[in-house]
Chain A
Amino acid sequence: MLVHSRAARWAVRILFLLLFLPLFVLPLLVIVAASLSSSWSGVLPSGPTGAHYTAAVRGDALTALTTSLITAVTASLLALAAGTWAALAASGAGRRTRRLLDALFMLPVAVPSVVVGLAVLVAFSKPPLLLNGTPSIVIVAHTVLVTAFAYQSVAAALARLDPAYEQAAAGLGARPAYVLWRVRLPLLLPSLTAAAGLCFALSMGELSATMMLYPPDWLPLPVRIFSATDRGSLFTGSAVAVVLMGTTLLVLLAVSRLRTRATFR
């Protein structure tokens, strides 16, 4: 409500749309258009077809979608567990330890993900921990990459949590584990689901680290999109991209519904 006159308000709205539409919406619309056409030589695409979608939801593409889903769900659950655990530990530790943990969990975000991918590949290519060539190396890399976000959002929520709740619970005779399970985690639930959604979305779209280490039988969707466009099959790639986008949005929507049900205040 900084702008009061009606004309000025409209001017601001139009300016916003002019900046927002070309940057955020138009590229996505272009993919959708491309995925539905067989050629694009003029201003607009031509030869409408649904063939790309038929290809995008069966065979290899479908395998890639399930691969991506399994990877993202596993990685984000692992990241959520590790991040929450670390954030809980940090909140109970001294200030110095907390700083150290904060820095440690920033690392995978600060380092380029290609480097993280390479590091994981090198680290797990020799016994005793030989993961190279198995699906688990992709999951490990994704977990390393997204745990930082889980840690950060849970740590932020913990800092906002009123200590009066856990003290009231302890005063009523609840052991620390009972307090954690019945009071702290339920109160953190909205942040936990938000963190899970974020991790899932990041993992679904991860390409650069995955490229470094995916085994031939574990091909996530982004890699498939990349190789399709690399081969020149732009329209097929677009259709797969739209499927990726839709699936991710659907899962996020489901998570956010869960989240509103878990919000108390």
Chain B
Amino acid sequence: MTAAMSETAPATAGTRPAGIHLDRVSVAYGKHTVLDGLDLTVAPGELMALLGPSGSGKTTALRAVAGFVRPVSGRVYLGGRDVTALPPHRRGIGMVVQSYALFPHMRVAENVAFGLRARKTPRRDIAERVAEALEMTGMAAYARRYPRELSGGQQQRVAIARALAIRPSVLLLDEPLSALDARLRSGMLAELARLHRELADVSILYVTHDQIEALTLADRIAVMDNARLQDCGTPQELYRRPRTEFTASFVGNANLLPVTLAETGPDGTVGADLGGTRLRAHGAGAPAARGAAATLCVRPHLVGLGPGPNALRGTVAEVQWRGATHRLLVDVAGTRLTADVRELRTPPALGAQVELHFAAEDAVLLPVTSAPEAVPGGGGRG
């Protein structure tokens, strides 16, 4: 009975963890659909990465959650409450944008206190919560500084502290690391991972175009392209068993080989013909019809040099030394295959014939994506 009551009771901020739920949300500017029927649920305490190239609709999705764009159809729920019609300032979210947008005329402490003052939080609580937020992000020593006196990474921390000070149940991060240089970025990644562990009830939506950030931080990744959700799953699922060619190539590197499906083997693996070579791949999720065209996906670092199962002969087109590894580009049956192998003492010469292999377990069969999106934005549902 209590469970039923809490289902229907309006969510009061802070007393109950909130999730994010998007129900077939579409956003359009004029006739141009920028977000097409997005369904997405982020559980309390979960970090969901929205990963996609620029123009894929991922930032639009985040802005729809924040309330800066109004969906043309679909509903947005925060903590079970329909907020589709609410203006941003009544949604109770914390948000960090790419440019940080720290108020330049306020000191760090005033910036962090902004959300609390705007909500008329009692004065004595403000100081305490500002200190707590600054402590959490390691910026306590900089409370008296102005934003212009801070480095990019420090401004980033203040922006996060400002979003955390209001104790939001939903935190939106819009490419928060893209303005930082590579070294700071890896430090902040670890920092964000720690914050995510500490904020056990907070749903985090993390927009990025960087697959490393998504793979490192996210509990689940939603891959977006062309205004649509392409794939959604844990980083491991998406990396090991991608369901579309787009996911395979966008989340990590991938060899995508055009194959024709053959019979299913006794061990559950599926046969696939590349040119005249019979290969065997993991069976799960493979398109059924025998003789149909499919795409075989195998990660470059799972391709080995030398004889073995699924052996392929090819001509070495390029050899790149990358320190710990050698990257070989090999022409096999009209396709170029990339293999990342442990550093070789004697790398093969250009034009040499080599043999490559990979385990059937490491290969995934995907449906062929018919050339760039058959009907772009054709889903005027709801």
**Contact of B104 with A by CB under 8 A:** yes
Question: If the complex has contacts A186-B105, A264-B148, are A169 and B118 also in contact, measured as CB distance less than 8 A?
Answer: yes
Interface SS, A side: helix
Q: Give the 3 A-B CB pairs with smallest separation, nearest first.
A: A172-B115, A174-B118, A164-B101
Give the number of residues in A that approach B within 8 Å (Cβ atoms).
Answer: 22
Question: If the complex has contacts A168-B95, A264-B148, are A175 and B89 also in contact, measured as CB distance less than 8 A?
Answer: yes
| Shortest CB distance A181–B (Å) | 11
The 8 Å CB contact of A187, one of B90, B105, B146, is B105
Taking CB atoms, residues of chain A closer than 8 Å to B66 are: 167, 171
Question: If the complex has contacts A162-B99, A164-B97, A265-B148, are A172 and B118 also in contact, measured as CB distance less than 8 A?
Answer: yes
- Give CA–CA (A189, B166) in the complex, Å: 28
Does A178 contact B118, Cβ atoms closer than 8 Å? yes
| Shortest CB distance A190–B (Å) | 10
Question: If the complex has contacts A165-B101, A178-B118, A264-B104, are A170 and B89 also in contact, measured as CB distance less than 8 A?
Answer: yes
Does B88 contact A171, Cβ atoms closer than 8 Å? yes
**Contact of B93 with A by CB under 8 A:** yes
Q: In the complex, which range does the number of interface residues on chain B fall in?
A: 20 to 34
| Shortest CB distance B93–A (Å) | 6
Taking CB atoms, residues of chain B closer than 8 Å to A186 are: 103, 105
| A 149-180 to B, binary, CB cutoff 8 A, 1 in contact else 0 | 00000000000001011011111111110110
Does A174 contact B105, Cβ atoms closer than 8 Å? no
**Contact of B163 with A by CB under 8 A:** yes
Taking CB atoms, residues of chain B closer than 8 Å to A187 are: 103-105
Does B99 contact A172, Cβ atoms closer than 8 Å? no
| B 87-119 to A, binary, CB cutoff 8 A, 1 in contact else 0 | 111111111010101011100000000110011
**Contact of B162 with A by CB under 8 A:** yes
- Give CA–CA (A173, B120) in the complex, Å: 10
**Contact of A182 with B by CB under 8 A:** yes
| B 162-195 to A, binary, CB cutoff 8 A, 1 in contact else 0 | 1100100000100000000000000000000000
Taking CB atoms, residues of chain B closer than 8 Å to A265 are: 104, 148
- Give CA–CA (A183, B93) in the complex, Å: 19
- Give CA–CA (A167, B104) in the complex, Å: 15
What is the interface of chain B, defined by CB distance below 8 A to chain A? 66-68, 87-95, 97, 99, 101, 103-105, 114-115, 118-119, 146, 148, 162-163, 166, 172
Does A174 contact B148, Cβ atoms closer than 8 Å? no
The 8 Å CB contact of B88, one of A164, A170, A183, is A170
Besides A167-B101, A169-B103, A173-B90, 15 new A-B residue pairs in contact (Cβ under 8 A), listed by A number: A164-B99, A167-B66, A167-B68, A168-B95, A169-B114, A170-B88, A171-B66, A171-B88, A171-B95, A172-B94, A172-B114, A179-B89, A264-B104, A264-B105, A265-B104
- Give CA–CA (A172, B114) in the complex, Å: 7
Taking CB atoms, residues of chain B closer than 8 Å to A171 are: 66, 88-89, 91, 93-95, 163, 172
| A 224-265 to B, binary, CB cutoff 8 A, 1 in contact else 0 | 000000000000000000000000000000000000000011
Taking CB atoms, residues of chain A closer than 8 Å to B97 are: 164, 167-168
- Give CA–CA (A187, B104) in the complex, Å: 8
- Give CA–CA (A97, B166) in the complex, Å: 37
- Give CA–CA (A164, B89) in the complex, Å: 14
Does A173 contact B101, Cβ atoms closer than 8 Å? no
- Give CA–CA (A179, B146) in the complex, Å: 19
- CB closest residue in chain A, given B146: A264
Does B89 contact A174, Cβ atoms closer than 8 Å? yes
Taking CB atoms, residues of chain A closer than 8 Å to B103 are: 165, 168-169, 183, 186-187
- Give CA–CA (A85, B211) in the complex, Å: 46
- Give CA–CA (A245, B67) in the complex, Å: 52
Question: If the complex has contacts A168-B97, A168-B101, are A173 and B92 also in contact, measured as CB distance less than 8 A?
Answer: yes
Taking CB atoms, residues of chain B closer than 8 Å to A178 are: 118
Q: List 22 A-B contacts (CB under 8 A).
A: A164-B99, A165-B101, A168-B97, A168-B162, A169-B114, A169-B118, A171-B88, A171-B94, A171-B95, A171-B163, A172-B89, A172-B114, A172-B163, A173-B90, A173-B115, A173-B119, A174-B89, A174-B115, A174-B118, A176-B89, A182-B114, A186-B105
